[in-house]
Amino acid sequence: MKSFLFCLIILFGINVAIARQYSVYNPGEFGHNQFEKIEEKILFILDFSGSMTENLGKEKKIDVMLRTMSRILPTINKKTWVGLRVYGHKMGFTAMDACIASTLLVPISPASVDKIQTQLFKTHSKGMTPITYSLKRAVEDDFAGFDGQKHIILLTDGGENCDESPCLWAMELIKSRKDVKIDVIAFNISNEDDLDQLSCTALVTTGKFYTANTSSQLADSLNKSLNPRKNVKAKIILNP
Coil/strand/helix, residue 141:
helix
DSSP string, 110-135: TT-HHHHHHHHTT----B---HHHHH
The whole-number pLDDT of residue 35 equals 33
Give the separation between CA 187 and CA 66, rounded to whole angstroms: 13
Where do the structural domains in the chain lie, given as residue ranges?
A: 2-29, 32-226
Query: For residue 214, which of 190, 187, 196 has the smallest C-alpha distance?
Result: 187
The whole-number pLDDT of residue 229 equals 55
The superfamily in CATH containing domain 32-226 is von Willebrand factor, type A domain (3.40.50.410)
- The H or E element that residue 16 is part of is helix 2-21
**Positions of the chain with pLDDT under 50:** 1-37, 230-240
Give the separation between CA 201 and CA 169, rounded to whole angstroms: 8
